[in-house]
Structure 1
Amino acid sequence: MESLLLLLAGSLIFPLVAPAREITNACTSQANDFQHMNGTGMHLTLHHPQSPCSPAPLPSDLPFSAVIAHDEARIARLASRLAKTPSRHPTSLRQQHREKSSGDNHLADSLASSVPLAPGASVGVGNYVTQLGLGTPATSYAMVVDTGSSLTWLQCSPCVVSCHRQAGPLYNPRTSSTYAAVPCSAPQCGELQAATLNPSACSASGVCIYQATYGDSSFSLGYLSRDTVSFGSGRFPGFYYGCGQDNEGLFGRSAGLIGLARNKLSLLYQLAPSLGGSFSYCLPTSASTGYLSFGSYSPGQYSYTPMVSSSLDASLYFVSLASMSVAGSPLTVSPSEYGSLPTIIDSGTVITRLPTAVYTALSKALGAAMGGAPRAPAYSILDTCFKGQASTLRVPAMDMTFPGGATLKLAPGNVLIDVDESTTCLAFAATDSTAIIGNTQQQTFSVVYDVAQSRIGFAAGGCS
């Protein structure tokens, strides 16, 4: 990776803010050399990965074994982030909004924009995806929505090193009249270290190079760029993102990633001056439709829990889990066990990870409450399994309660996950590192990340 970065820095000649046509020609002339040397209140609708409404469906659904493999790789990626040097929190969204809007005649928090959200099995990932519009005129791309990443990037033509096969065409900068490469002298180039946990580099002509690497060995490498981004009816000029020239790993057939973490280069922070410091989503099942929304929301419909500050990683969303119950009875575990590990809420992790003592108590309580439901062998990391499907079994009520009173009252589909046609398993696993509230438990709830007020809210019945 280091040699590839130096190669890009030393060999690709990108004019600083030149027309995209010139950039394309400069890259194309060296494409073969790189290929030989590469050894290695905005509202978007969300659909479930197995929904026919998902963008660019594949011929077959993503097998559950692949979902588990993707989940384990994601855990490795998050563990890698948490093992790196702690980062400082960026300027608060409340402060950023106040500085931007002073003297304006409108309040950004009164605005909102939304687009559909869909599960990502149709493009080969376990996360959720939406359509991001980029350029002038705008073209839409199927992008993974990721609360655990900061920098937004997508695959770019001419893709001088390597691009994975994606649903739809690559983004072509030469077709956008508002595209510009970002010079190394721009402050955004210096912010890449905090956004990606990797230093930036500089091309021979002074264009900023980013490298986004992940714990599962996936990576994206390319040029920091600026263009107009579009969601729904909203268009936002001057959006900074990565124009990927080497993108390899577990990205399925998506075009790239949308970063929603707490960082100056994330989509949330870049839109905050226009839309305010919050976003919300509903992660749908295969039978429903979800959304991703930026900007104002109805605060009265949610119950809230505070975001927790952590020196492990300032960009991730940490919360505390206070208690759990099965069939109305609290788990027989010491309350201190819930807080024995740092806990992240994450849109891209499928299976929730709990401290081992909590998981053991949960597995025992669920097994007892399922009565005579026949047990099935363990499936990969899932060791509490039953014969049948979640929809046909009598699944007890389960609650997850957070400080402040926010509670997820889980339906059967939030408790058990069908791994094949004859087996369903408890959608939780044990961990001794970082606990994670995954997306199976979040499905069908509206979840708001109100970063400006440092709180996360939950409301039932969010998907249509």
Structure 2
Amino acid sequence: MALLLPLLALSLLFAVATPIRDITYACSSEVKDFQHLNSSGLHLALHHPQSPCSPAPLPTDLPFSAVLTHDDARIGSLAARLAKTPSARPTSLDENRAATPAADSLASVPLNPGTSVGVGNYVTRLGLGTPATSYVMVVDTGSSLTWLQCSPCLVSCHRQAGPLFNPKASSSYASVSCSTTQCSDLSSATLNPAACSSSNVCIYQASYGDSSFSVGYLSKDTVSFGSNSMPNFYYGCGQDNEGLFGRSAGLIGLARNKMSLLYQLAPSLGYSFSYCLPTSSTSGYLSIGSYNPGQYSYTPMVSSSLDDSLYFIQLTGITVAGKSLSVSSSAYSSLPTIIDSGTVITRLPTSVYSALSKALASAMKGTPRASAFSILDTCFQGQASRLRVPAVNMAFAGGAVLKLAARNLFVDVDSATTCLAFAPARSAAIIGNTQQQTFSVVYDVKNSKIGFAAGGCS
């Protein structure tokens, strides 16, 4: 088969299309309210993976053990990524469905793992092309390249909500040649080398630690936000997409890399973004552009030679019922700390986790204990919303503090058991999305700081 003709690009128009799945009238209204571009930046609705308002919700009967399995895969992928360990699984894009030299050489390239994008990721809707079309996309601060599934899907496409993106339907679509700067930039954006088709079209390879991957053509198109549009947005038009992406069309990358959505929009909107990760019963948002700096307490972004695209910060202390944990201050810095939108369970240095578990068990001594659940070993009988829990604060360098409510401390693993939403770390500590839920979190990349503010979701 000859190289795919004009492949339409990723739709960052999250607002102008009809809902892709059945959504209530109230949910549809909330989506419209958030999807707009104005002088204060781009504002998009953000959905919890299990929200009934999500345009691509997870199955309602998905056991929490599956969430933990996917979450552990994401942690493993981050560990491999920081260690710069290649994946054992190569991928290829055989555009001619025949054994050509180009295909053979591409198939022999090992892929480095990115961050696993499993069931813990939040989704929004976005659109692209002329005319614009809307798609359900995973939002990931641990990834750089934005991509979505494209027809004719030469090799494999996972099931998604709504139709595949059709490049032939966009009058503004263009493929990107192998000689461009953007093709060269793929190696830093995906941690894998770019390849070149026999038709001189740049091929990207985005891989994830749970063996999920997307391979396809680097493309550009007009991205639209309501009545506003921006031309020449670079993204991946996926032709071989396999793995744990739910029913999303693809992924939006928000990492610190020139190929990410953030950096491509930054010349117009600024180098900052903020979000509020909602619970399954609240409404959240993703905003790119200006924000109100006065409402946040800040912690500096920390530079790390391990990976310059991830967001590192420094955890300095945890208190339970006003008392500091019984560990040295150096225990908190024994591992690098990443803040991540797609990890569900926060990972702490082992000594810090053990001290937190012990302090909480002591403070909740009258609450009946329950058996460990998978990787979660501090569990209680009942539901998080009905427990009397002590005040727990997480402090960061610079004075930023997260004051955790019960919903940020515990996760209900079944109808009768709730567990502490923390676990021991591997090669890095990670501030996960359970602890971030309902806080407004701003990533001010220009000023190298991250801010937290309570009460961000509605």
Q: Same fold (TM over 0.5)?
A: yes
> Once structures 1 and 2 are overlaid, which stretch shifts more, 212-221 or 190-199?
212-221
Structure 1 outlier segments of 4+, above 4 Å: 18-21
> Where do 1:341-356 residues align within 5 Å?
341-356=335-350
Partner of 1:238: 232
TM-score by length of 2: 0.84
**2:433 pairs with 1:443:** no
Partner of 1:271: 265
> Once structures 1 and 2 are overlaid, which stretch shifts more, 69-78 or 311-320?
69-78
> Is the 2:204–2:215 Cα contact (8 Å) retained in structure 1?
yes
The partner residue of 2:447 within 433, 448, 453 is 453
**2:419 pairs with 1:429:** no
Q: How many residues align?
A: 396
Q: What is the distance in 2 between the residues matched to 1:281 and 1:150?
A: 17
**2:3 pairs with 1:13:** yes
Partner of 1:68: 68
> Where do 1:66-215 residues align within 5 Å?
66-84=66-84, 125-215=119-209
Tell me, what secondary structure is at the counterpart of 1:285? coil
Tell me, what secondary structure is at the counterpart of 1:313? coil
Counterpart of 1:420 in structure 2: which amino acid?
D
- Alpha-carbon shift at residue 69 of structure 1 (Å): 1.3
Tell me, what secondary structure is at the counterpart of 1:404? helix
- Alpha-carbon shift at residue 230 of structure 1 (Å): 2.7
Q: What is the distance in 1 between the residues matched to 2:7 and 2:357?
A: 56
- Identity of paired residues, percent? 77
Rate the CA distance shift 1:261–1:12 in 2: closer, same or farther, 3 A. Answer: farther
- Alpha-carbon shift at residue 231 of structure 1 (Å): 3.8
Tell me, what secondary structure is at the counterpart of 2:353? helix
Counterpart of 1:13 in structure 2: which amino acid?
L
Partner of 2:274: 280
> Where do 1:394-413 residues align within 5 Å?
394-413=388-407
Rate the CA distance shift 1:439–1:131 in 2: closer, same or farther, 3 A. Answer: same
> Is the 2:177–2:200 Cα contact (8 Å) retained in structure 1?
yes
- Alpha-carbon shift at residue 124 of structure 1 (Å): 7.4
Question: Unaligned 5+ residue runs, structure 2?
Answer: 9-40, 86-116
Tell me, what secondary structure is at the counterpart of 1:400? strand
Q: What is the distance in 2 between the residues matched to 1:370 and 1:275?
A: 47
Q: What is the distance in 2 between the residues matched to 1:57 and 1:204?
A: 39
**2:408 pairs with 1:418:** no
> Where do 1:225-374 residues align within 5 Å?
225-232=219-226, 234-374=228-368
- Alpha-carbon shift at residue 139 of structure 1 (Å): 0.9
Tell me, what secondary structure is at the counterpart of 1:453? coil
C-alpha distance after superposition, 1:320-341 (max 9, x if no partner): 0010001111101111000000
Aligned-residue RMSD, C-alpha:
1.7
Q: What is the distance in 2 between the residues matched to 1:366 and 1:399?
A: 12
> Is the 1:43–1:231 Cα contact (8 Å) retained in structure 2?
no
C-alpha distance after superposition, 1:66-95 (max 9, x if no partner): 21111011112212221228xxxxxxxxxx
**2:42 pairs with 1:48:** no
- Alpha-carbon shift at residue 48 of structure 1 (Å): 2.0
The partner residue of 1:384 within 374, 378, 386 is 378
- Alpha-carbon shift at residue 64 of structure 1 (Å): 1.1
- Alpha-carbon shift at residue 58 of structure 1 (Å): 5.5
Q: What is the distance in 2 between the residues matched to 1:348 and 1:216?
A: 13
Counterpart of 1:201 in structure 2: which amino acid?
A
> Once structures 1 and 2 are overlaid, which stretch shifts more, 209-218 or 42-51?
42-51
Q: What is the distance in 2 between the residues matched to 1:139 and 1:444?
A: 30
Question: Unaligned 5+ residue runs, structure 1?
Answer: 1-10, 22-40, 86-122
> Once structures 1 and 2 are overlaid, which stretch shifts more, 227-236 or 295-304?
227-236
C-alpha distance after superposition, 1:400-429 (max 9, x if no partner): 000111000000000011011000000000
TM-score by length of 1: 0.83
